[in-house]
Structure 1
């Protein structure tokens, strides 16, 4: 373990400009340009799973891989661009068939109703917030078919190709984002998650090829679940390829992530601050923990946690004021088998992630 001073986070953003309407119009144009650029990048590199970009605006990781008949993750590119300002508009757009780019303006309340506040997102969607105040409040998004334990291979109609960016999620009565039932090619990027009743981002039941990047998690308990329980092997073994990078675990409590069965999980360049535990690898999951910065984390990484032991390889991490070392065991397939990436030095992670993670940064 290396002891280093913790960089001082950057100051809070200045108050919003008075000319809010003009700024919102500019942000709409910027969001449309971003989606166009993102689609072009996806077309250029999805076929090989090659690096698109390491900067704050680029897609990296398992969401870029060509697999399961999907060449990377392009979301709603090529479909209509629509704007949602009300609950009715948002729920209508996310459920429509075919590609859509859905721009969220302002705060939208997701009703609880009979679904415990979880609302289904159809394939081929980009959901992107405009400015720094787009929010989904009181409910969450479900990406995936209804639960069926008898299905143990990806069905032809699995939900796929979804991008969620620049949204603040809070106050959900269940999960804030739930990915299930062999859903694949999902990019969850530059969001803010807080005060949910259950998981912030849960990925389970055979889902695959997901990147979770540049998000801020705070004021929340059960953060990232990867595989839902010890009986999930028939659906999960050989799947759950997920990349977690440049996320800010800002005094969120646990599960960053908590992993079972996953084939290859890549956790790199994340900033952990004041958490009970960081990563747990169990039930023979394979996790590479690389170039992260852990400050005041009781257990940064565990394989002897609950149930069967997992596999965990660590390299290049910095631990400051942590009570335990990162536990290691076994070997893990190199993520570069699937995609290219350029990790930042761990010493730079607190400053980089504090400045770049969350909403209003793209």
Structure 2
């Protein structure tokens, strides 16, 4: 029995920059103002993005001593999530916790064999006009489904309401974990390095595009129907398994990654601040479908703020937006060789992208920063590309004439503690965003 192999490689994205001492004033955005405070007790500042709306976001700050946990293993982390009933909790993560388990072979059910799977569903045998959804449980696809279910149960961790998860020190985080923030309120996740889960059992779909596609599960973090969530000072990467190391089968990349952060299914009031999103393809999805059933759930929700984040060496979705009122300001976008676009303008989206900085390599036009998927107006003001103020909508409409964007998202963000000059953003964000920067 064989399962797909992966190859180790050190990430090419240098997200850990040299330390830089910067003054912290009373107007500094989303930075802890009292560094001597217990990180687990810190809460989101007032007016700091959509997560501060209404009741605000305090996570487990009110936890008593009995509900403060320090964990260094995956089993201990999941036990801390499950303990204590509905009481607020603080979970302090020490060191890097491996959520991958003993490896792909350990998740495979008896009888599953990847070579048999490849032979059975090869396009020259199976064709490209029918999917695999009707395959029985004892088929290669049925055994793949069962194997994937075992991995799913192991690597997903469900975060309860009124919880703070915080990394302690410079090397805290998870490898291969999928944090599920689902149908709960009031969650804080901070100071963690999150290496993307690797799907051991992607599904082949012959009908996905004319050539078929491999589709994978598992995001590093999913905000699903949840409210008041603060993601701060985390680092999201593919770590030792970037897409460039993945093999090809049937002439298509054997895709083993999904997203780094998804905000879906009516989720609301999310602030993502001072994070690093790096070395990934489909990075952040806000709203996961254009369908009528999805629209009924998402319309009027999916309110999210992104500020002072570093987006480095990504392909797309930083983020891709459907339906939501999304405020994105003071972020630094650094494009790499495989850059596709940053902002995806989707169904009924209301994106405001202001005061951001973009660093594009030679040969990449500023018109690619915005990508139009559906007709939806966008606000894009005071953005700088390679040090020059640039009208992103105008340059897009000039460089991509078949995708004309209309200005004016129809709302004005007010939940901002402070807006930095976009000229200062690269130095500020590159030296302060990401895990290991909180003390």
Q: State the TM-score, normalizing by the size of structure 2.
A: 0.64
Gaps of 5+ in 2: 1-14, 21-33, 102-149, 199-217, 242-256, 398-404
The 8 Å contact of residues 303 and 312 in structure 1, kept in 2 or not, is answered as no
1:199-254 alpha-carbon deviations (Å, 9 max, x no partner): 00000010000001111111211111100111121111110000011110111221
What is aligned with 1:33? 38
What is aligned with 1:334? 412
What is aligned with 1:148? none
What is aligned with 1:106? 95
Give how far 1:177 is off.
Answer: 0.2
The CA distance in 2 between the partners of 1:208 and 1:198, in whole Å, is 21
Give how far 1:12 is off.
Answer: 3.2
1:307-346 equivalences under 5 Å are 308-320=374-386, 325-326=395-396, 328-332=405-409, 333-336=411-414, 339-346=415-422
The CA distance in 2 between the partners of 1:302 and 1:260, in whole Å, is 14
Q: 1:243 to 1:142 in 2, by over 3 A?
A: same
Give how far 1:87 is off.
Answer: 1.3
Q: 1:10 to 1:130 in 2, by over 3 A?
A: closer
What is aligned with 2:193? 168
The CA distance in 1 between the partners of 2:90 and 2:356, in whole Å, is 33
**Is 1:61 paired with 2:99?**
no
The 8 Å contact of residues 17 and 430 in structure 2, kept in 1 or not, is answered as no
Give how far 1:171 is off.
Answer: 3.6
What is aligned with 1:194? 237
Q: 1:325 to 1:94 in 2, by over 3 A?
A: farther
Give how far 1:325 is off.
Answer: 2.6
Gaps of 5+ in 1: 1-8, 15-28, 43-49, 52-59, 145-157
What is aligned with 2:279? 219
The 8 Å contact of residues 17 and 431 in structure 2, kept in 1 or not, is answered as no
The 8 Å contact of residues 31 and 128 in structure 1, kept in 2 or not, is answered as no
Give how far 1:326 is off.
Answer: 4.7
Q: 1:300 to 1:184 in 2, by over 3 A?
A: farther
Match of 2:370 among 302, 312, 315: 302
Secondary structure in structure 2 of the residue aligned to 1:252: strand
The 8 Å contact of residues 301 and 325 in structure 1, kept in 2 or not, is answered as no
Q: State the TM-score, normalizing by the size of structure 1.
A: 0.77
Q: Between Structure 1 and Structure 2, how many residues are aligned?
A: 300
The 8 Å contact of residues 314 and 326 in structure 1, kept in 2 or not, is answered as no
1:28-62 alpha-carbon deviations (Å, 9 max, x no partner): x96862333x24x76xxxxxxx43xxxxxxxx101
Give how far 1:111 is off.
Answer: 4.2
